[in-house]
Structure 1
Amino acid sequence: MSATAGSPPERRAAVVEAVIAAYAAGLREADSALVRNDRIWNSARDQARDILTECLAALHGEQVQVAMEAELTSMALGMRRAFEQIPPIDSLFAAHVLFEVGTDALVEEARAFPAGTGMSRLTRAVRMLHSSISTRVRAAAIGYEASTLRGVGAANTARRDQLARDIHDHIGSSLALALRCLDLYEADLAAGGSAQSRIADARQALRDTFRFTRSLVSGLRSYELRDSLQAEINSYTQAATDGAQVVVGINGDEAWLPADRREEIFLVVRECLRNAFTHAAASRIDVDVTIAPDCVACTVEDDGRGFDPAAPATGRSGGMSSMRERVTGLGGTLRVASYPGIGTRVHFQVPLPEVAAVDLVEREHT
């Protein structure tokens, strides 16, 4: 697993994939539950890939810390493993295997550094490896224990996935928005501008987090948008954007949208916008929502840096999966088209309950 030829990103990606292969081999040799099922392995692999990417960045002198969103994702993963009845010992053993193969790879990579710098870089990277793994293991243990104590192990697959999506889309996104507002607050201050609105937006995002967390803990999962779909999208956009022009168009009657559908559609649109703000560096983002009595169609398109959908999953993969699962759960479809240097286009469509069409007919005859 020595350094390979090519640009640094290509070399790091090659090292990561080599370690992932060794990690999978170690789990298969031990007949771990994490590699018996493709879906379970995919989540373990994606998490390992994020960990290794962080460690290699630390090895190359970059300032890295485990993101709060990674902890929330790990907590949701712990809940899923409780539902899937995967014993905690399997996760602990997987952490042990990952630490061993990851350390071996870091040692091999450090040999390519000039004398006098390799050891200090290696020490930093190994500490990052330990921190990345232990932070996620602790978060997953919290999720696992919470699920076990509340008896959610008996819940069905749909409920399990819904809970994981809710943690990501409500708690994770709101906390991410609060952190982004604080980052923008510092940037505005440095530029000599007024930044008080950023603090207000951060406070509101944290209030939303607390509100949803209370409902989740109490078992109610009660969440409703405070305003119309357009107003909620505009509010999020104003809080999260750092200068990109966002054009929002809502066509049709929001009265045709049941409250639960309206919430789900907003969450998908918000995740699209969050990805664009975080990853795309776009100058313009267009949001188009068309509401008909029998369905809703939405397109979110940006002119940012884009990405290769066929490339290995990155930090945005959790959000993409959540969006797709949420739309599929509504009986709809979601398509993503993206090209490096051109931009990204997300289009989804979901059906509406027949009551909307019946209501339209009644209104036409009154």
Structure 2
Amino acid sequence: MASPPAVLATASVPTPACSPAPHASGRPVPWVAPVLYAAVLAGGLYYDVAGDAPPSPAKVAAFVAGLVTLSGLDVLERRRHRVRTPKGLAAALLGARLALFAAVAAADTAGLSRVLFVLLPFSAYFAFGRRVAVALAAGCLGLLIAWLSITVPGWHVTAAYVSDVLMFGLGLVLALSMAAVAVGEQESRTRLEHALYEVEESHARLTAYAERVAELTAAEERNRLAREIHDSLGHHLTAAAVQMEKAEAFLDRDRATAERALADARSSAARALGEVRHSVRALRGEAGPFRLSEALAELVRRLDGGGPRVTLETGGDESGYDAAALRTLYRAAQEALTNAFKHAAAGRVAVSVTCGEARARLVVEDDGGGLPPGPREERGFGLRGMRERVRLAGGDVSLTSEPGRGTTVTVTVPREPAGAV
């Protein structure tokens, strides 16, 4: 009886499709510059309206135009470069802002515009890093002191000017601190987003692996059931078919022989049903202990007299062997005997099994016509299933045959368990 082809196959697990890797979510604290521009604009206009001297329309226009230009420059930069401005362009923009800050300060009669200069190291922190920002902050403070030294002799003994310098220095420190905190928070958020992305990607990959393992496990179980059906039901149904053919051939010539053949066919069918019940009990974990010598003796007893003469020789101690390994030898003997009865046209079949200290060895030898030349695995799926079963048990199968000189099947399995069969 030919079994279905093996369906177990290995394949690489496909890489799951995941969402794109996260990126930085935008510029940190983008609201600082607009708020500062608005505060300077409101303070300067209020001073012009509430001051004692009438404001100069040209200076007010230059003051407002400078702040509007600064705001528009920031909007354009954020639209063109949402996350980070290239260093070359960032340097050019710092220069442009410095010129605009100076122009706004020159047009500001209230004197509030010098606070805008804290935005230079603040912006430089995001584009060039901490060292450049600190150096630029020191430069801005130095320029303020130099400007006061040139334009206001003795400023350092005037409390108002000293207070202005101290407040400007404090503003620089606060701006650098805010920039450092914002950059650190952005980096932490980016790392967290990347970590979450990697977790999602790993989860998707593990899900794909689990699905593939489930597929391979199901395929392996189908293979195992296919081998069981072939080796158990196939053997008994083949025997029943042979006996029914014999009964049909002797029905008119020797009724007694035909009736014995029918009885043997019924017996084979009953044994097939018993195999099914045994398999169900095994799947439920209710099967009793398996004895190889007893099972082989029963197998030979049922076959002897219905075709070639079958002899059995057993030796060694099977008590230390795994039940799966012993059942592998039994199924191999079943397959070899079925082939000998169906195809070999043999007059004698010798079965011998020896359970040694390290390995058990089964030999099934017949004196039939042998196998014709050619790839033997392609002649049916029985030998393929035998090889699969024995390989899972960690053993080997050897087949020698020559036309007209019989066939010998040798199977060895190790004493230690080598996996489920």
TM-score for both structures, normalised by structure 2:
0.44
TM-score for both structures, normalised by structure 1:
0.49
- Greater CA radius of gyration, 1 or 2? 2
Query: With CA pairs under 8 Å and 6+ residues apart, which has the higher RCO, 1 or 2?
Result: 2
